[in-house]
């Protein structure tokens, strides 16, 4: 199977390409990146071919699928172009910056009979899978409420340019946790209230946000979607869940499998992560779903619904009220 | 030497009593509890007198200070009685079940010119004092995003009255009020709150309670507070605070403790492990001792008490607003 990378705007392209290399039978077609310097550096770093125009990857009949890692607002065009060229697509989250774009992407992939998967690797983290299993088994009884976090460091670059990103920390950090909760509860978010602000950094988008939501199944949850980790923090951020149920509670930290490293080079400590590589596990599943012609493990609709919650959060901030679907 | 009477010899009454052992300029001379074994047991530490009826302690002429450790629904009644008997009063938090009672308590104390303090002990916890020190030193820049956690076991399992909202106020009013007071003391007035939880869904007193509160302060700080009464008697109680600022972040987590003791107890024939977390401190900085000591100092010197009663009233107002926000499912401004 031949897979191309479209754009490396998003830093996850780095780990995706390394993960793809580890998957048997996968051949990497190259990287299509209009920024020549960045694209060539990326290609050289990973030992793959460079194309300035991603159309050159799409026009190659031997390419089966693409991994899209462009800035959020460019996902739609690249996905639709790829679908028309009959390439299966896995697109970085959030699926898009508007519901309309997301819907157009879903439609284009359906019409062209190609797979569309949205990159939600957290589903593949073994601690998160185990968390789902425990809830599915009813071990916690009925779930009452959940306090979740998806913190990060401020990524800078296009992430803070609303025209390219669609927003700041909310659009960047809401979708993972919402996807996990939708996946576990098989229930949609029906109410959202959010507070946000540009509190920490001098940037044109929000860097701090708390989102409170309620699902159709009456479970309530909050999410801290803030770029509030300083540069000196020992890791990039976190994905955590604190879950209260009628029969027990559970604390889950998706990245807790780490040691602590102290280095005089950086003069602060750093986590040394030793757990599974969730990007690799996700991409393996993407390849499998193409090979065996299975339904996408994470669908375009999953991406769209997670995006909807992020957009509801923005609307809630704008109106300072609880937004109901 | 100040002479002290303790009313309520339950959980926190026992904690307070033990503190007096290392406060040389005060002496506990009377203890009251409607359960005589409890008052007797506490009184025996000091060779103090013990009573079933609190009024017998309040009316004693030789008592200077009344320390009120009864369940929350009795706070206002006993504070007002003790004030009218011209006793200085240290009363457990939360101040009262409703705002009006809080005002009456303050009025009674000021009319009788006695010192009256609500025991917002979090202000004396060394890790919370350290958090303020770090903020004030500017090490994390301007504080901006705050997260707190408080809870673990449902206290109703040990003391049923906690499970009734008309007796304890529930987890927000009873427990989260610690964090509310600390945050308001540290960051100033609260602008708006929004809360979701299962306060209005719970039915039985032993049903778990779990509430999530969002708070925006007038100075722009945003906070997220967890109030957790969802555990059972084996769940470890704990508290956490994280403050992210423009230059850094500081976090404290009571689950990281210096001493974890595991004892194997015989329980109904099968061995069971009971883990007892301990964070030993000298009486100098042990928070309950320090709180009582500083209150007594302000009584002796007739100086400003360390936790002004109006601050406690304000924390109560914020807590009540959180519960109201949950009821109406709307963000609410905190209006006095
Ligand atoms: N600051 C803290 O960290 C902290 C911790 C626990 C409790 N508290 C507060 O302290 C108060 C007491 O809580 P607790 O856990 O000790 O409860 P508890 O039930 O263990 O103790 C209360 C005691 O008061 C006695 N009592 C009840 N009615 C009485 C009356 N009319 N006269 C005399 N005694 C009476 C009870 O018999 C009981 O022994 C509550 O308001 C609670 O919110 C504060």
Task: Kindly list the distances between the CA atom of residue B19 and the CA atoms of A49, B116, B152, B297, in Å, as whole numbers in the listed order.
Answer: 73, 19, 25, 15
Write out the CATH class of domain B123-287+314-333. alpha beta
φ/ψ of B145, rounded to 5, equals -120, 125
Confidence of residue B279 (pLDDT cuts 50, 70, 90): confident
Helix (H/G/I), strand (E/B), else coil: B287:
helix
**Does the beta-carbon distance from B329 to A191 stay under 8 Å?**
yes
Residue of A nearest to B199 (CA): A144
How far does the centroid of ligand 1 lie from the alpha carbon of residue B45, in Å? Answer: 19
User: What is the CATH T-level fold of the domain B2-119, as seen in this structure?
Assistant: Rossmann fold (3.40.50)
Q: Is B300 left (phi over 0), alpha (psi -120 to 50) or beta?
A: alpha
**Does the beta-carbon distance from A244 to B248 stay under 8 Å?**
no
Taking Cα atoms as reference points, which of B46, B79, B90, B28 lies closest to residue B291? B90
Taking Cα atoms as reference points, which of B163, B176, B155 lies closest to residue B233? B155
User: Which residues of chain A have a pLDDT value below 70?
Assistant: none
Q: pLDDT, tens digit, for every residue of A159-191?
A: 999 999 999 999 999 999 999 999 999 999 999
Please name the residue whose Cα sits nearest to atom 1 of ligand 1.
B121
B9 lines ligand 1 (CB under 6 A): yes
What is the pLDDT, as a whole number, of residue B276? 67
What is the pLDDT, as a whole number, of residue A267? 85
How far apart, in whole angstroms, are the C-alpha atoms of residue B74 and residue B50? Answer: 19
**Does the beta-carbon distance from A321 to B330 stay under 8 Å?**
yes
Average pLDDT (B266-290) is: 76
Residue of B nearest to A316 (CA): B331
Output Rg (C-alpha) for chain B, integer angstroms: 20
Average pLDDT (B283-290) is: 95
What is the pLDDT, as a whole number, of residue B260? 78
Residue A145 has its nearest CB partner, among B145, B196, B244, at: B196
Domain borders along chain B are: 2-119, 123-287+314-333
> Domains, chain A, ranges and CATH?
2-118 (3.40.50.720), 122-277+307-324 (3.30.360.10)
Average pLDDT (B239-253) is: 96
What is the pLDDT, as a whole number, of residue B273? 56
How far apart, in whole angstroms, are the C-alpha atoms of residue A256 and residue A241? Answer: 12
Confidence of residue B270 (pLDDT cuts 50, 70, 90): low
**Predicted model pTM:** 0.92
């Amino acid at each position: 199977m031949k897979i191309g990378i479209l754009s490396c705007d998003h830093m996850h392209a780095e780990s995706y390409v390394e993960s793809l290399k580890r998957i048997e039978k996968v051949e990497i077609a190259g990287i299509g990146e209009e920024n020549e310097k960045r694209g060539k550096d990326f290609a050289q770093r990973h030992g793959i071919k460079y194309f300035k125009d991603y159309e050159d990857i799409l026009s190659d009949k031997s390419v089966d699928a693409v991994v899209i890692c462009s800035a959020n607002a460019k996902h739609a065009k690249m996905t639709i172009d790829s679908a028309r060229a009959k390439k299966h697509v896995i697109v970085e989250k959030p699926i898009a910056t508007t519901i309309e774009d997301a819907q157009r992407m879903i439609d284009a992939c359906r019409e062209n009979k190609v797979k569309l998967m949205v990159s939600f690797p957290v589903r593949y983290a073994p601690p998160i899978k185990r968390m789902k299993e425990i809830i599915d088994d009813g071990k916690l009884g009925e779930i009452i409420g959940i306090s979740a976090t998806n913190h990060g460091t401020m990524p800078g670059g296009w992430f803070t340019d609303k025209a390219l990103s669609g927003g700041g920390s909310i659009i960047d950090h809401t979708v993972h946790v919402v996807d996990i909760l939708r996946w576990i509860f098989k229930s949609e978010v029906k109410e959202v209230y959010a507070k946000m602000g540009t509190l920490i950094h001098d940037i044109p988008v929000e860097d701090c946000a708390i989102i409170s939501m309620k699902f159709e199944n009456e479970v309530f949850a909050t999410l801290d979607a803030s770029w509030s980790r300083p540069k000196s923090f020992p890791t990039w951020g976190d994905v955590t869940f604190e879950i209260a149920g009628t029969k027990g509670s559970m604390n889950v930290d998706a990245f807790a499998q780490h040691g602590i490293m102290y280095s005089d080079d950086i003069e602060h400590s750093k986590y040394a992560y030793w757990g599974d590589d969730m990007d690799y596990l996700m991409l393996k599943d993407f390849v499998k779903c193409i090979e065996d012609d299975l339904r996408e493990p994470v669908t375009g609709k999953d991406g769209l619904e997670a995006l909807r919650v992020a957009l509801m959060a923005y609307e809630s901030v704008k109106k300072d009220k609880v937004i109901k679907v | 030497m100040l002479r002290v009477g303790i009313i309520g010899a339950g959980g926190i009454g026992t904690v307070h009593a033990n503190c007096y052992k290392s406060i040389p300029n005060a002496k506990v001379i009377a203890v009251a509890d409607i359960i005589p074994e409890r008052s007797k047991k506490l009184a025996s530490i000091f060779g103090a007198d013990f009573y079933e009826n609190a009024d017998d302690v309040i009316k004693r002429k030789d008592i200077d200070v009344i320390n009120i450790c009864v369940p929350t629904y009795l706070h206002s009644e006993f504070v007002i009685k003790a004030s009218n008997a011209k006793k200085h009063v240290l009363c457990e938090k939360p101040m009262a079940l409703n705002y009006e009672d809080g005002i009456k308590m303050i009025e009674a104390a000021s009319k009788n010119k006695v010192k009256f303090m609500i025991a917002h002990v979090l202000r004396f916890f060394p890790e919370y004092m350290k958090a303020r020190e770090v903020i004030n030193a500017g090490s994390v820049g301007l504080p901006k995003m705050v997260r707190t956690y408080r809870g673990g076991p449902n206290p109703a399992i040990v003391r049923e009255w906690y499970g009734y909202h008309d007796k304890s106020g529930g987890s927000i009013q009873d427990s989260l009020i610690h964090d509310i007071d600390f945050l308001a003391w540290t960051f100033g007035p609260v602008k708006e709150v929004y809360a979701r939880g299962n306060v209005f869904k719970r039915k039985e007193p032993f049903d778990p309670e779990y509430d999530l509160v969002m708070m925006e302060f007038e100075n722009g700080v945003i906070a997220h507070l967890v109030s957790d009464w969802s555990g059972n008697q084996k769940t470890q109680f704990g508290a956490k605070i994280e403050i992210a600022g423009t230059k850094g972040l500081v976090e404290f987590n009571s689950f990281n403790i210096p001493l974890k003791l595991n004892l194997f107890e015989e329980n109904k024939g099968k061995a069971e492990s009971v883990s007892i977390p301990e964070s030993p401190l000298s009486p100098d900085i042990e928070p309950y001792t320090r709180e009582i000591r500083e209150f007594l100092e302000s009584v002796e010197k007739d100086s400003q008490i360390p936790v002004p009663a109006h601050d406690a009233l304000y924390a109560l107002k914020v807590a009540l607003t959180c519960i109201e926000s949950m009821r109406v499912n709307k963000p609410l401004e905190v209006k006095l």
